[in-house]
Amino acid sequence: MRKILLAIDALNINTPSIDFACFVAKLTNSKLTGVFLENVLYDTVTENVYSSGEQKNRLSLNQRQEITEENIRFFKEACDKRGVHAVIHRDRKIPVEEMISESRYADLLIMEADISFTNKPEGAPSGFVKELLAHAECPVIISPESFDGVNEIVFMYNSSGSSVFAIKQFTYLFPEFANKKITLAEVNKSKEVTLRHKPEIMEWLKNYYSDIHFELLYGEPVEELFKYVFEKKGLLLVMGAFGRNALSSFVKESRASLILKTTNLPIFITHH
């Protein structure tokens, strides 16, 4: 991996997402491109970052420019301090369309779950995030609100082409995790069902990982996934097919939103 994108609201920079993106860039020896989304086609309403505690203000074009330039300086300095090579892109049209286009020429896109360009609170995942997860042309990682490292990789697996594709994409992008604990987790509604195609997936995983474990969960997939990852730390969750088939229901389920809101885990998502 060589090119990582970090989606940034030019008027409201997120320090934890920068911390996480710098960790990934340094781990993989990649360039980190900060994509500053300015959305100048719309009359944006946002909180004035220089006036903590004040009500939201309607910003002039000059004010937006000043805030954006200050945030770019902050991003560059943060990357420099962490020894990460930073690149700046300023995109000034419709944010979701700009990011989809950018993703076509990148290896990985990182963004926080609640980044938004509307004038009202959306929560996580925001409409912007849902659109990108469904249409991004490279894998995506949802960054956590705080980050203390990765001790275990959890692959959500159902033997489908989509789930295996996500596992492969993650593995190819992150050979640096070869010695981490790997857990292959499958959710089945019936306890009579065992891990599907275990010999085949085990044979493939052994080519890349040295510490492999299996976890069979029983019940509704989204509910059991939430129970499994809730309050766990040091995990990186990998899943596939976001927005394209069976797992597209992830964004529609209230419990799935709770995963993004409450678990504070980085989540790698891709589709094919």
**Fold exhibited by the domain 3-142:** Rossmann fold (3.40.50)
- More confidently predicted of 245 and 113: 113
Instruction: Give residue 206's pLDDT band: very low, low, confident or very high (50, 70, 90).
Output: very high
DSSP assignment of 202-266: HHHHTTT-SEEEEEEEES-HHHHHHHHHTT--SEEEEEE-TTTSGGGGGGG-HHHHHHHHHS---
Find, among 100, 156, 89, 170, the residue nearest to 129 by Cα.
100
Q: What is the pTM of this model?
A: 0.89
Domains 3-142 and 152-270 in one fold:
yes
Domain boundaries, the chain: 3-142, 152-270
CATH class of the region 152-270: alpha beta
% of the chain with per-residue pLDDT over 90: 58
Centre a 10 Å sphere on the Cβ of residue 243 and count the other Cβ atoms it contains. Answer: 18
Q: For residue 24, what pLDDT is reported? A: 98
